[in-house]
Amino acid sequence: MKRIYNGMPAGLLGSEGWHKPWSGGNGGSCVEVMRLADGRIALRQSTDPDGPALIYAHQAIVKFIQGAKAGKADFLLSRETA
């Protein structure tokens, strides 16, 4: 089994299994996600499918999505910097 690590080229994870849950009218630039066999989640930029993959523990993604749904990430919607 190949070693899967944060920052590895996303192309090494293969081309099957990637999903675009957050696509929209942004010209095709979106985040793609893949559930790995060990339960972790890989994220990549759709416009750079061979660029780095960010690898997160399942629970980290759960907490992020729960926080986003609760409005804790709303500050990311503003174009102003903190």
Interval 16-63: pLDDT, tens: 999 987 666 666 678 999 999 999 999 999 889 999 999 999 999 999
Closest CA to 53 of 77, 35, 29: 35
Task: Tell me what pLDDT residue 79 has.
Answer: 83
For residue 21, the model assigns a pLDDT of 76
Q: Which residue has the tokens 């090494």?
A: 12
Task: Name the DSSP letter for residue 38.
Answer: T
Band of residue 12 on the pLDDT scale cut at 50, 70, 90: very high
More confident residue, 2 or 16: 16
pLDDT at 73 over 70: yes
